[in-house]
Structure 1
Amino acid sequence: MFKKILIANRGEIAVRIIRACKELGIKAASVYSDADKTLLHAQYADESYNIGVPQSSESYLNQDKIIKLAKTINADAIHPGYGFFAENAEFIKAVEEAGLAFIGPNSKSVAMMGSKTAARKLMSQNNVPIVPGTTEPIESL
């Protein structure tokens, strides 16, 4: 079981994750930008950390900053919520390489399912029923 999770998201989804952490006896650490410091997730978490300016690309989407913070605060895992990093195979791989757990699918699964043709091939190879269609990318119309 994890002792501390860094939640790499904001708003309602972060609050839901914090609530689940509290029910499980896990410390929840949240992040917030300068514009979000008064939002509920920043107040409700056991620990909250400012990650910078309101522009998401420089705060919530700055994967190096998020991973460095997780390591600095001794988090065991990062929970992406949805959006932002939830479907970013590169971020997930960086989390894994940093020695942290990613709460969600592993980077290989996300990369595979992120490509419709690769996902269809994998499902077909494993006898998972798929809707008829192409198994190769369409090159032209």
Structure 2
Amino acid sequence: MSPNTVPAVIQFSVDMRHPEADVLDGMDADLRALVASSAERHGCGAEVAVDDGLPPVAFDGRCVAAVASAAEATGRACERIVSGAGHDACYVASRGPAAMVFVPCRDGLSHNEAESIEPGQAEVGAEVLLHAALSLAS
């Protein structure tokens, strides 16, 4: 489509993540208000639909700290993120302590048919997981 073309319909998605459900609800309300006011201002229609409203899952603080410490101890970078995917660990967390270790994938693709991980990255993830597990076991 040419940049000069004005489409009849535009569809896009917004991925909002936060560890607290109340904050997510506020973000949703703010987005809906913004979309409604923008549509009114520009004289067009707009619709907001929620495709996937998974509730946030809080992982065990001790497990998360063990993963962060293990990453630091092995000289790896660690960034705490809120995952929006329905990982098995989210279901495990409803039954007991859990955390996750994410490792970089080629081109940043995750949960995608093209997802691919280099063996060295898998080794790094396994090393961090091992150190975290040993720390929690002692």
**TM bucket, shorter chain:** under 0.3
Which one has a larger percent strand, Structure 1 or Structure 2?
Answer: 1
TM-score, normalising length: structure 1: 0.23
Larger Rg: 2
TM-score, normalising length: structure 2: 0.24
